[in-house]
Amino acid sequence: MDAQGLPLVAAGIVLIFAALRGRVGRLPRNGLLGIRLPSTMRSDAARDAAHRASWLATFLAGFVALGGGLALTLAAVEGSLAVPSTTSSILILLLIGTIQADRAARNR
């Protein structure tokens, strides 16, 4: 067992939590979690629409982070390739979610 995947596990749990709260409109404005773009900061309705639109991509990013972190922690994979591929996948999914959020917020 190796602890190098624990930060990914923690990030995955946080992303999944934020995605599920955003999906149902229960992610309050705060200084820690949420999508902060000019379009999403205009109003609470725009912010809620943005988080509802991006919840699936955010959830999948959390799932990838959690899975990658568990694989690294349990030493099921070689860390040299697992970390960059997991991180790239997370960033791509979060970028997709951000684009979805911006589009939804602009339509509010």
User: What DSSP character marks residue 38?
Assistant: T
Instruction: Tell me the domain boundaries of the chain.
Output: 3-26+34-106
- Please answer whether residues 32 and 38 qualify as being in contact, where contact means their C-beta atoms are separated by less than 8 angstroms: no
Predicted confidence (pLDDT) per residue in 4-62, tens digit: 889 999 999 999 999 999 999 999 888 899 999 999 999 999 999 999 999 999 999 99
- pTM for this prediction: 0.91
- Please answer whether residues 12 and 64 qualify as being in contact, where contact means their C-beta atoms are separated by less than 8 angstroms: yes
* Distance from C-alpha of 52 to C-alpha of 65, rounded to nearest angstrom: 20
Predicted confidence (pLDDT) per residue in 72-105, tens digit: 888 666 656 777 889 999 999 999 999 999 999 9
